[in-house]
Chain A
Amino acid sequence: MSKYALFLGCTIPARQPNYELSSRKALAKLEVELVDLPDMTCCSPPPVQSLDLETSLAIASYNLCLAEEAGLDLLALCSGCFESLAIANAELKHDPELKARINRILSATGKQFRGTVEIKHLLEVLNEDIGLKRLKAAVSRPLSNLKIAPFYGCHALRPSELLKLDDPEQPHILETLIEALGAKSLEYPNKLKCCGGLLRGVSDKLALELARDKLLNASKAGADCIATLCPFCFVALDIGQIQIRSKLDETFDIPILHYSELLALALGVESSELALETHKIRVDKILDRI
């Protein structure tokens, strides 16, 4: 039985209980134990990094130190958290001088970064740790009626040389894991293009246009739903559809589901346990088909 420290970050606890619940329940079905460590702090995403890089690395590595103390690898659900923590971990591990400077900052908290744990993405845990064979065997409710458009977002794949999750231009891991649930994974144009999420509030129009293109391409390809990995992609495409309706006068009705939700459903978790009512675009028509 494998065991990970769970890193939730900020957006998931605040806005997306559906992500947390589905991940916890699905991983429990797969006999993965998640440990909640007290005192976890901010992952130090790019906005924080741009203020002061070394301070941001110190904040990120504080979380790594907690995992090191517990002797557990860290599973980050949010792609942004995964990226920030994995970059910090990789950079401190291969730059001894940087590590020494960060440890000087950390010493005020009594922590020292040693570089003994790994940061894992949910897809990595499923693909490498559980394995496709075990995963397929655990599927009790195959999603064979669903055609799913996979959507990676940006933070899970890049910077690819540090994250090493998959090829950033031609990734396959999400498609493979969707097919493992019995569903059909669809190809569609601009699959790897930006969701527009981080442009919201900066250039709303461009953000919505990017989301619109993605929804359009996925629906033309015949998708029943889009599978996301990142809370921001979820927001951009889910709430985004309501805004596209009012601002761009175009109507879509494509349910957006985190991969973890599809996973939980396929593993037999009851839909009533998954807080699916948090979705702005209703997912009933998906549930009807499984």
Chain B
Amino acid sequence: METKEPKVGVFLSDSGKQLSNILDFHAITNFVKGIPGVVYVAQGSDFWHDRGLENLVETVKSKKIDRVVVAGTTPKLSEVKIAREIEKAGLNPYLMEYLDLKDHCAMPHRSTPAEATEKAKAMLAGSVERAKLLEPLKKLEFPSLKSALVIGGGIAGMQTAIDLADLGFQVNLVEREPFLGGLAARAGRFFPTDDCAICIQPPSSDVKTITHTSRKCVYRSGFSEVPNLAIHTKTRVLAVEGEPGNYSVTIEKTPRYIDEDKCINCDKCTKVCPVEVPDEYNGKLTKRKAVYSNIPSVHPPIYTIDENSCKFHDCARCVEACPTGAVKLDQKPEKTTINVGSIIVATGFEEFDSSVIKEYHYNEYPDVITNLQLARMIDNFGPTKGAILRPSNHQPAKKIVFVQCVGSRDQRYKLYCSSICCMISLKHATIIKSAFPDTDVTICYIDMRTTGREHEYYYEKARDMGIKFVKGRPTEITKSLETDKLVVDTEAALLHRMLQVEADLVVIAPAMIPAKGTEQLAEVLGVDLDIDGFFKEYNAKLRPTETKLRGIYICGGATFPKDAPTTSLHAHSAAIKAAKFLNASKITKDQRTAVIDQDFCGDCEFCPATCPYQAISVERKDEEHLAAKVSDLLCEGCGICVGACPLGAIELRHARPSQMKAQMKGLMSVNGTSSPLILAICCSECGHTAVDSSGMAMMEYPANVRVMRVPCTGIVQVQQILEAFKAGAQGVMVVGCKTEGCHYEAGSEKAEKKVDMTKILLQEYGVDPERLEMFKMVFIEGREFAEAARNMTERLQKLGRLNLIPS
């Protein structure tokens, strides 16, 4: 720690005399000069660009100033710029304290200039006291691998893998099925282009065919020939260890029982195989052999043996039939460990099991099928070679009824709209109507949701083609007594009556749910799922393909059902996020992190669970004691652990309790005519910006409300609130983000609990708990902040003066 007395330079900006109309800069300057440690005070128009900034930097150098306090006007931006410049001048950029005299003081208190000036003095006193205790922080570097693991070989995974491989990353693509393509390969065609599902943008390493416009079928794309892309089919992720930039992943490959280098795709093994089982790939509408390949254009073009149905050595006819000796019935599962810098999850989604909706008799009536099964029928490679046949008798289906929202938008099953099913049904209905114009097609819907670009044209086209639309959710699908047809019993809301629609084939549009195994994978990776069970992004707007853990990304249908264009967009986004993170082969980060004082750490093991980023681990110190340890790489510097540690053993290097206490005392040190003093502890994310916006919008509130910035309200400790009262606050406001919008996941929620707990304590101490309150707001809620500040003042005026020591 510093031994010599710090030299503080204070730079007061009057914003082109704008502020000096309200604040008495003469008095403020004299006041600041009197604070011990302050060696220099300057007043100027501004200090964040041009001459002002040059002057500041020169003064820092010439006066040997080692703590800079800038009272500026335009926060955030200028803070960054000044920090960068003083760093160039040789001072550690974290030895600067910034406060906003305009929007946090002059503007909101313009009607009471005397009180505003008092508050400005207090703000400066707080910032100077805090600045004196600031520590220089280091820049840290962590070596990282320029490699990635992509989990899932559907269109999202393939597209991400290609992007990263093109950028020079070593990529491992893991797919649990024997073939790539995922759900998309089974879907046949995509809307709104009616494009093939297996068409992808080829890797740039495909020198023979690549042009800016080229699109390629997966099997012709050269995908498997990319030198820095390894494809692992029939493979699962078992365990993940390590840190961002350096993960060690254990994967297990189930044997194909076919030598991948020898198979020549001749189909002789399938011809002799005596085992027939329902073909999952084709929605069980047909059968396949135990040794099989899906469709002629499948990728990789290597046969596989289904270990659940093959009789292996009891039969072994395929071994004899194979002309190249590629069948290897004795292959064993292989576990391997791969080292990667980041992990991208692209595990997709699947259809909800509609058989639980008994009134629709799916899986019971063979002529009730799902959209995915219908897609297999429409596919020329599918079980019916493109004909639309009734599974019960293989006769053409002349009357088809689609039933939307099966399991979606249904309180009994999935509350959400699966978002793509309306378009899937429209796509299928129009394809069928084009190929077989005399087919009678009806779509029963709750609402047709065609919100994407060109999607409404599909709907329009479908109506023009004579496809019928019935607004209503069918109550039941029954079997007619006279004929072999099905009858869809439905409300027709626009006709105000019930309808019974006869059908040869009923196609249901099931809800789309997370792929099987999503929960286990989330557990292995340590990332969260949302309320519907999909992988949860860190922030829907800003970080749609990032998880809360650096280094782990998500994309495509694994995050929510998506159409092909959106999936592709998502995949590119995940790739660029991963590349941005690892491109330099090192991760650079400053040491705004938590640190544990081992002398105080009390073996309690509470802190690891409180960290949203898994940055704290507990290690054995000796036989009897444990020691918590913070990873500088994983720590995001929020301070939630600080607020959680029962022994006060954890501190943030950039917001130590001693620094906050010093600032708090300063803020409460000048009151003059301002009363009752209120300390507003605001998080640096939404809480502090709400204060900004109240000032920017010229809202007014009393100058007795003094604001202290903390990284996240999660850092607030019970004793810190008590300290505030001791320092002279008559009331305390804790202002954080909205619970759902907390930038550090759980901080504002934990702060709220701590506020509730402190209220109980205050009651015990004979202090009215109404003197403390938690608020949650976002930047644009400046009005709400001003209102809260006014209400709190009024409330405290009614409560009267707080006397901690009864007179």
Contacts and interface: CB of A to CB of B under 8 A. Distances in A.
Interface in B462-486: 475-476, 478-482
A220 B478 contact: no
Interface string A190-207: 101100000000000000
B784 interface: no
Contacts, number: 24
A220 B482 contact: yes
Nearest to B482: A220
A246 interface: no
B619 interface: no
B489 interface: yes
Contacts of B481: 188-189, 217, 220-221
Contacts of B359: 169, 192
Contact of A169 (B358, B478, B479): B358
Interface string B332-372: 00000000000000000000000001110000000000000
A190 B489 contact: yes
B358 A189 contact: no
B490 to A, nearest CB: 12
Contacts of B487: 189
Given A169-B358, A169-B359, A170-B358, A189 B482 contact: no
Contacts of B482: 220
Contacts of B476: 190, 192-193
A239 to B, nearest CB: 23
A167 interface: yes
A225 B478 CA distance: 21
A269 B357 CA distance: 41
Nearest to B360: A169
Contacts of A192: 359, 476
Which of A169, A170, A188, A189 has its CB near the most chain B CB atoms (within 10 A)? A189
A193 B358 CA distance: 14
A195 to B, nearest CB: 15
A217 B489 CA distance: 13
Point out which of B357, B358, B480 has the most chain A C-beta atoms below 10 A from its C-beta. B358
Contacts of A188: 481
B139 to A, nearest CB: 60
B478 A167 contact: no
Contacts of A167: 358
A15 B753 CA distance: 62
Contacts of B357: 169
Contacts of B479: 189
B522 to A, nearest CB: 30
A167 B357 CA distance: 11
Interface string A209-236: 0000000010011000000000000000
A92 B479 CA distance: 41
Contacts of B475: 193
Contacts of B489: 189-190, 193
A217 B480 CA distance: 9
Interface centre among B480, B481, B487 (most CB of A within 10 A): B481
A154 to B, nearest CB: 13
B499 to A, nearest CB: 13
Contacts of A221: 481
Contacts of A193: 475-476, 489
A22 B480 CA distance: 34
Nearest to B475: A193
A192 B475 CA distance: 10
B49 to A, nearest CB: 65
A252 B480 CA distance: 20
A94 to B, nearest CB: 21
A165 to B, nearest CB: 15
Contacts of A170: 358
Nearest to A171: B358
A221 B482 CA distance: 9
A170 B477 CA distance: 13
A190 B478 contact: yes
A154 B481 CA distance: 23
A189 B476 CA distance: 9
A192 B359 CA distance: 10
Interface in A160-186: 167, 169-170
A173 B357 CA distance: 19
A192 B489 CA distance: 12
A217 B358 CA distance: 20
Nearest to B476: A190
A149 to B, nearest CB: 11
Contacts of A220: 481-482
A3 B620 CA distance: 67
A213 to B, nearest CB: 9
B474 to A, nearest CB: 12
Pick the most buried of B357, B475, B478, B479: most chain A CB atoms within 10 A of its CB: B478
A184 B359 CA distance: 23
Nearest to B359: A169
Nearest to A219: B481
A16 to B, nearest CB: 29
A173 to B, nearest CB: 15
A54 B480 CA distance: 45
Nearest to B364: A170
A188 to B, nearest CB: 7
B319 to A, nearest CB: 47
A221 B478 CA distance: 13
Contacts of B480: 189
Nearest to A220: B481
Interface in A15-49: none
A193 B474 CA distance: 13
Interface in B505-522: none
A50 B478 CA distance: 34
B142 to A, nearest CB: 54
Nearest to A167: B358
A142 to B, nearest CB: 26
Nearest to B477: A189
B512 to A, nearest CB: 23
B362 to A, nearest CB: 12
A220 B480 CA distance: 10
Nearest to A188: B481
Nearest to B480: A189
A55 B151 CA distance: 59
Nearest to B478: A189
A167 B358 CA distance: 9
A76 B358 CA distance: 28
B551 to A, nearest CB: 45
A158 B316 CA distance: 56
B172 to A, nearest CB: 46
Nearest to A216: B481
A82 B358 CA distance: 25
A193 B491 CA distance: 13
Nearest to A170: B358
A254 B489 CA distance: 24
B280 to A, nearest CB: 26
A227 B358 CA distance: 23
B411 to A, nearest CB: 13
A194 to B, nearest CB: 10
Interface in A243-275: none
A220 to B, nearest CB: 4
A189 B359 CA distance: 11
Interface of A: 167, 169-170, 188-190, 192-193, 217, 220-221
Given A189-B478, A189-B479, 14 more contacts: A167-B358, A169-B357, A169-B358, A169-B359, A189-B480, A189-B481, A189-B487, A189-B489, A190-B476, A190-B489, A193-B489, A217-B481, A220-B481, A220-B482
12 contacts: A169-B357, A189-B478, A189-B479, A189-B480, A189-B481, A189-B489, A190-B489, A192-B476, A193-B475, A220-B481, A220-B482, A221-B481
**Which 10 A-B residue pairs are closest in the complex by CB-CB distance?**
A169-B358, A189-B478, A170-B358, A220-B481, A169-B359, A221-B481, A189-B487, A190-B478, A189-B481, A190-B489
Interface of B: 357-359, 475-476, 478-482, 487, 489
